[in-house]
Amino acid sequence: MLVALAATGCALMARRRSAARNAKADEVFLNETEHRFKEVFDLSCVAMAWGDMRTRRLVRVNGPYCAFTGYSERELLDMPHEELSSSEDGVAQTVLFAPPVKRGEDSFSDEKRYVRKDGAIAWGHRTITVIRENGEPRYVFAIVEDITESKRAREQIDHMAQYDALTGLFNRAIFQMRLMQAAGEAKEKPAAVLYVDLDHFKEINDTLGHAAGDALLVQIAARLRSSVSPGDIVSRFGGDEFAILQFARSQPEESADLADRILRRLSKPFELEGQTVTVGASIGIALSGEACGQPDEMLKKADIALYAAKASGRGVHRHFECEMEERLRARQQLKADLRVALAQKQFEIEFQPIVSLRDDSVSSFEALLRWRHPTKGRISPAEFIPVAEETRDIIAIGAWVVEQACLAAASWPPHVTVAVNISPRQFGDRTLPLRVAAALGKAALNPARLTLEITESVLLHDTQANLALLRDLRALGVRIALDDFGSGYSSLAYIRQFDFDKIKIDRSFISDLVESPHSLSIVRAVMGIGRSLNLAITAEGVETALQLDAIRAEGCDEAQGFLISSSLAARDVAPFLNRFAAGAAAEIRIPPALAEAAGG
Ligand code: C2E
Ligand code: CA
Ligand code: CA
């Protein structure tokens, strides 16, 4: 309406002189219209400006236009109109005096950034009408609506659609879009995807709270940003998952350098609400080109490499290799097979004797799990137990082992005990003591005849809860042994935390006992601890008579290893005991015949 009125008004003003030559009645009418138009122009709350296309200057502006631009009317009429334009708008700045209109369509509108007098940017939606004189464009009349607020809101929404709200990094959608572009330009511009995964983030989130977790993610984002080169894309995919798209020519060197830089920076402590926390990270890398043409493929490969990085001890980076994919596939297959193995009765338990060096008798057997895979044959527990831990199948499998071991031991002579390995994951099952009690009850086995072997990793996380669980187990009357002693990080700290009944020295110390003075002093030190804390010490992995002599000389209580026997099928336990009692009682240099009889 305003536009129409303005157009009429303008046209009339422009034709003023010719109109003056017309009849008096007409002149009265014109003056009246002109007057009304002036009134609308001056009193309107909408910003309006009026420009001369020949001088390219504004000739009239109203109050709202002054308010919108921050300049006075005088300033606006004196200054070149271009000064109001933002350089970001390019051609838009000249459009006012040369609007792209065709004959018969003398009005057009656009959105434009105005640079206000105070330097701030204001967005205007302007409608420009061309006023013709004798058919030729002569004046422009602009109505400008302030749309700064809605423009900002829209920008914010656009920003939210592209960026992660917490860290301000690009989100996954944008990352994937850029990756898609990168894949198209891989020849000229090689790219690498680095998948970064934090270690122990969940624990920090759980113990310090989500606000601290968020603050940590923000700091991590800053460290990542400062590690990359200009042009690289850093993105948060959600949670503690970050990805980087690196553009660099010399691969794999440059992505390896970047990964090292990131790992170094992320390993430095973070300050969170007065607390110092450390997080590690693992990084998987896939390079464009090679087999990784497609964006999805690249992400998948970086993910597989990340998995391999985590598996090889964390705090490291790995580049994708085809074998990784095969290994992962094999592992996934193993997981699936493992899920049905218990129900399909593919597990067996073998028993490896442990000999007391006090009276050279068999004191106990360690239950060792065996998996007879229907197609792959025997699979080592060292291979499948970590998988069962990952899938938590170990909880059901472990309970089955305890039950079977108790049932077997119930048929042995009463002085012979049984040892069962309990994995750290089984401690996640708070009903473990109940399961153990049920197994003992079912077999009617004296709890003192059951030893549970745990490794110190049980005391690495959730320490208090796991210690409580250990005490509950002990309260049943079973014995607790610390397995693989010396192979972990800070074994001495752990024997202070719980009153173990027994320590098993890791076989890595026994294997080079005779040659290495270092191992000998460690074994000697462990013996000393055992004596002073009144703990029994078992040497694992005794393979030679020389090793047996050495541990005997050091005062070790028990020996276990291939020299005595490898693990036996349940039905071979009784014959072994008989043969051992008959043949080896006098001479614990285990008769070769016995070791052979034990088989593999
Ligand atoms: P571990 O608890 O340290 O068990 C002893 C391992 O050392 C057994 O390997 C045994 O066969 C092997 N071994 C015994 N004597 C010798 C020796 O003289 N020389 C050498 N080189 N090795 C010897 P295995 O049966 O392959 O078990 C490997 C690991 O798998 C076990 O280590 C244990 O951590 C785990 N495992 C086995 N059965 C179970 C189970 O039922 N539950 C859980 N959670 N873990 C189990
Ligand atoms: Ca063990
Ligand atoms: Ca062991």
Q: Tell me whether strands 568-569 and 347-356 are parallel, antiparallel or unpaired.
A: antiparallel
Q: Which of 368, 385, 387, 425 to mutate to test the pocket of ligand 1 (most atoms within 8 A of CB)?
A: 368
Instruction: Determine the distance separating the centroid of ligand 1 and the alpha carbon of 368, expressed in angstroms.
Output: 6
Measuring CA to CA, how many Å separate 408 from each of 266, 328, 396? 51, 36, 18
pLDDT at residue number 241: 92
256: three-class secondary structure by DSSP:
helix
Q: Tell me whether strands 270-272 and 241-247 are parallel, antiparallel or unpaired.
A: unpaired
Instruction: Determine the distance separating the centroid of ligand 2 and the alpha carbon of 384, expressed in angstroms.
Output: 15
C-alpha count within 13 angstroms, C-beta hemisphere, residue 11? 13
Report the atom number in ligand 1 closest to the C-alpha of 567: 11
List per-block mean pLDDT (blocks of 10 residues) for the chain, which spans 600 residues.
47 49 63 82 90 90 95 92 76 63 76 91 91 86 92 82 89 89 79 92 83 93 95 92 92 95 94 85 88 73 92 88 90 93 95 94 97 94 93 95 98 98 92 97 98 90 87 97 81 79 94 88 89 93 94 95 95 93 59 45
Report the atom number in ligand 1 closest to the C-alpha of 562: 18
Residues with CB under 6 A from ligand 1: 352, 367-369, 380-382, 385, 398, 401, 421-423, 453, 483-484, 507, 541-543, 560-562, 567
285: three-class secondary structure by DSSP:
strand
Instruction: Determine the distance separating the centroid of ligand 3 and the alpha carbon of 506, expressed in angstroms.
Output: 6
pLDDT at residue number 493: 72
Report the atom number in ligand 1 closest to the C-alpha of 504: 3
518: three-class secondary structure by DSSP:
helix
Question: How many CB atoms sit inside 10 A of residue 116's CB?
Answer: 14
Ligand nearest to the CA of 560: 1
Paired residues of 52 in beta bridges: 57, 139
Question: How many CB atoms sit inside 10 A of residue 269's CB?
Answer: 10
Which residue minimizes the CA distance to atom 41 of ligand 1? Answer: 369
pLDDT at residue number 487: 79
Instruction: Determine the distance separating the centroid of ligand 1 and the alpha carbon of 366, expressed in angstroms.
Output: 9
| H or E, element range at 441 | helix 432-443
Q: By the 8 A CB rule, do 128 and 95 touch?
A: yes
290: three-class secondary structure by DSSP:
coil
- Return the C-alpha torsion angle 508, 510, 516, 522, nearest 10: 90
Which residue minimizes the CA distance to atom 7 of ligand 1? Answer: 541
Instruction: Determine the distance separating the centroid of ligand 2 and the alpha carbon of 151, expressed in angstroms.
Output: 68
User: Which residue from 309, 327, 329 is spatially nearest to 317, judged by alpha carbons?
Assistant: 309
Tokens of 480: 């607790």
Maximum pairwise Cα distance, the chain: 145
What is the rounded CA–CA span in Å between residue 506 and residue 481?
Answer: 12
pLDDT at residue number 289: 73
Residue-wise burial string across 538-575, b where 16 or more C-beta atoms lie within 10 A, e elsewhere: bbbbbeeeebbebbeebebbbbbbbbbbebbebebbee
Instruction: Determine the distance separating the centroid of ligand 1 and the alpha carbon of 367, expressed in angstroms.
Output: 9
Instruction: Determine the distance separating the centroid of ligand 1 and the alpha carbon of 380, expressed in angstroms.
Output: 9
Tell how far CA 135 is from the center of its chain. 69
Compute and round to an integer the Cα radius of gyration of the chain. 41
Tokens of 362: 């068999």
What is the rounded CA–CA span in Å between residue 204 and residue 198?
Answer: 11
Q: Tell me whether strands 47-52 and 57-61 are parallel, antiparallel or unpaired.
A: antiparallel
Tokens of 7: 């157009």
Ligand nearest to the CA of 385: 1
Q: Which of 421, 512, 567 to mutate to test the pocket of ligand 1 (most atoms within 8 A of CB)?
A: 421
Instruction: Determine the distance separating the centroid of ligand 3 and the alpha carbon of 487, expressed in angstroms.
Output: 9
What is the rounded CA–CA span in Å between residue 347 and residue 403?
Answer: 13
Ligand nearest to the CA of 484: 3
Ligand nearest to the CA of 367: 1
